[in-house]
Amino acid sequence: AQKVTQAQTEISVVEKEDVTLDCVYETRDTTYYLFWYKQPPSGELVFLIRRNSFDEQNEISGRYSWNFQKSTSSFNFTITASQVVDSAVYFCALSVGGSYIPTFGRGTSLIVHP
Amino acid sequence: SAVISQKPSRDICQRGTSLTIQCQVDSQVTMMFWYRQQPGQSLTLIATANQGSEATYESGFVIDKFPISRPNLTFSTLTVSNMSPEDSSIYLCSVALGFGEKLFFGSGTQLSVL
């Protein structure tokens, strides 16, 4: 069975601070995919990134960066110089090979204060 | 890519009544899913909506309570029947375009049951 743990329920920062959202996953499959989604107050889930298990390269997209480490089964997400618009619930998800359906973590609520 | 139109966006209903949520996709997709997100919680899969066959329900969800229709490859409905306040949640439809691919989500239906 698969499992995704987002231990941080809520994080509160002040604008311009850097913040890291943790994600730890469990699976016995060697082929799997990891995702991050953002859910702003409007409610719609927005896809941020997808990573497959064979690609451990870290990725940077503007102020967002992701650190994938198979050795620790982690796929952490860092926002640099946070902004109020980053306030949202962020979900990490895991999909194993052959499945359409991901397992979602419980989400981390990020609050960025001006 | 897939664009999903979901309606209604929100509704307030009386207990004992039923609400049907519609989900329209701008392209033909095989796999459609219905999720429930209770306040402050993660996404819980209700069922997979299969075109031309009965929906596949997850543990804890039954067809009598959450009947689903999937008349074609671009449309699905979820009905929440005989509602109680415990059904107050956000309901989301989503589609997947392939194994391990990201999910596309509708904007969600915020349901409040009085």
Digit-coded pLDDT (tens) for B94-112: 998 888 888 999 999 999 9
| Contact across the interface for A47 and B96, Cβ inside 8 Å | no
B107 and chain A: CB distance < 8 Å anywhere? Answer: yes
Residue among A32, A52, A91 whose CB faces B42 most closely: A91
pLDDT (mean) for A97-114: 91
For B28-73, what is each residue's pLDDT tens digit? 998 899 999 998 889 999 999 988 788 999 999 999 999 999 999 9
Give CA–CA dist A56/A68, Å, rounded. 6
Q: What is the pLDDT of residue A78?
A: 97
Handedness of CA A55, A99, B27, B20 (dihedral sign): negative
Looking at residue B102, its pLDDT comes to: 87
Which B residues 35-54 touch A at CB under 8 Å? 41-43, 45, 48
B56 close contact with A: CB closer than 8 A: no
The contacts of residue A80 (CB under 8 Å, 6+ apart) are: A18, A63, A64, A65
Smallest CA–CA separation between B20 and chain A, in Å? 19
When CB atoms are compared, the residue of A32, A43, A102 closest to B103 is A102
Q: Between vectors from CA A73 to CA A69 and to CA A74, what angle results, nearest 5°?
A: 65
Q: Is B105 on the interface with A (CB under 8 A)?
A: yes
User: Confidence class of residue A77 from pLDDT cuts 50, 70 and 90?
Assistant: very high
For the segment A89-98, what is each residue's pLDDT rounded down to a tens digit? 999 999 987 7
- The alpha-carbon gap from A54 to the nearest alpha carbon of chain B, in Å, equals 13
Tokens found for residue A2: 């698969």
Query: What confidence tens digit (pLDDT) does each residue in A9-19 have?
Result: 999 999 999 99
Q: What is the pLDDT of residues A21-68, one digit of tens each?
A: 999 999 999 999 999 999 998 888 999 999 999 988 888 999 999 999
Identify the closest residue of chain A to B89 by CA–CA distance: A43
Q: Chain B: give the shortest CA distance to residue A103, in Å.
A: 9
CA B56 to chain centre: 12
> Most distant CA pair in chain B: distance in Å?
39
Q: Provide the pLDDT confidence category of residue A100 given band limits of 50, 70 and 90.
A: confident
CB nearest A101 (choices: B45, B107, B110): B45
Which residue in chain B is spatially nearest to A98 when comparing CA positions? B99
Q: How confident is the model at residue B39, as a pLDDT? A: 86
Interface test with A, best of B10, B11, B37 (most A CBs within 10 A): B37
Q: Is A25 on the interface with B (CB under 8 A)?
A: no
Where are any strands of DSSP class E within chain B?
Answer: 4-7, 10-13, 19-25, 31-37, 44-49, 56-57, 68-72, 75-80, 89-96, 103-105, 109-113
